Structure 1
Amino acid sequence: MKRFDVKRLGRLVTEIVVLLAIYFAGCQIASGLQLPIPGGVVGMALLLLAFALGWVKPAALQLGAGVLMAEMLLFFIPALMSLLDYGVLVRDEGWRILLVIGVSTLLVMVVTAFTVEAVCRWRLRHEV
């Protein structure tokens, strides 16, 4: 087991605070402008913009993002437990729900791929 490292803990807390601040800024922008987009998505767009403009390097938030990703299941347990209350709905309309989940997941993957490709091409053009 790794020894307790105050410097690493401080960096982890700082990175998580930065990620939460970006999330809350996205929420404030979404509610202030009455956007039909969740604040988390606006926050991700802000983070992508900060990465693209070079304000923040992805490595600077790698530790905090890694911890949040590792504990992601913890964030989904309440949503999964609520399925127990709506068993009849899942039984009757489950195929439609799965279809929507599948199509939306595929769309997110495709849009993400195109976005990453576009940002990489843009960055290569502007580095020269």
Structure 2
Amino acid sequence: MLLSLWWWCAEGLCRRWLPAIPGGVLGMVLLLLALQYRLLPIAWVEHGANYLLAEMLLFFIPAVVAVVKFSALFEQAGLRIAAVIVLSTACVMLVTAFAVDRCDRFLRFRRIRMHRHGEALCSR
């Protein structure tokens, strides 16, 4: 219920002030920030998230129906479609790995800088 309310509010914000950003994306960013800064207890979100993960198979049913319904298309262009799927998945994985690596480097640099700054204050 809370996740749906969160999404609905983010969707309203996007429609009103940020039409270029999808409401689901803004909602996830706001939810991440609220959890990160402990404005929202994890226990409030955990039950809904576990339910969605348990029912994740339902999200793939439309894709399976499309494969069955358009089997002639897949017989004609199946190899090209598979190539696009594989390449796009690889691109997403590479961009995600790059982003995680950059964030990790930034956090390590920040920790080292804070540690050095703390030593400099203590030696005075």
TM-score bucket (shorter structure): 0.5 to 0.7
Using the alignment, how far apart are the partners of 1:100 and 1:63 within structure 2?
A: 32
Number of corresponding residues:
103
Q: State the identity %.
A: 31
Using the alignment, how far apart are the partners of 1:26 and 1:110 within structure 2?
A: 28
Using the alignment, how far apart are the partners of 1:112 and 1:25 within structure 2?
A: 28
Q: TM-score, normalised by structure 1?
A: 0.63
Using the alignment, how far apart are the partners of 1:53 and 1:91 within structure 2?
A: 46
Q: What is the aligned partner in structure 2 of residue 92 from structure 1?
A: 80
Quote the RMSD (CA, aligned, Å): 2.9
Q: What is the aligned partner in structure 2 of residue 26 from structure 1?
A: 10
Q: Which runs of 5+ in 2 are unaligned?
A: 115-124
Using the alignment, how far apart are the partners of 1:77 and 1:92 within structure 2?
A: 22
Q: What is the aligned partner in structure 1 of residue 95 from structure 2?
A: 107
In the TM superposition, residue 57 of structure 1 has moved relative to its aligned partner by 1.6
Structure number with greater CO (CA < 8 Å, separation at least 6) is 1
Using the alignment, how far apart are the partners of 1:69 and 1:110 within structure 2?
A: 26
Residue 51 (1) aligns with residue 35 (2):
yes
Using the alignment, how far apart are the partners of 1:75 and 1:109 within structure 2?
A: 25
Runs of 4+ aligned residues of structure 1 deviating over 4 Å after TM superposition are: none
Q: What is the aligned partner in structure 1 of residue 47 from structure 2?
A: 63
Per-residue CA deviations over 1:95-120 (Å, capped at 9, x if unaligned) read 122111222144346546738x95xx
Q: What is the aligned partner in structure 2 of residue 77 from structure 1?
A: 61
Q: TM-score, normalised by structure 2?
A: 0.64
Greater Rg by CA: 2
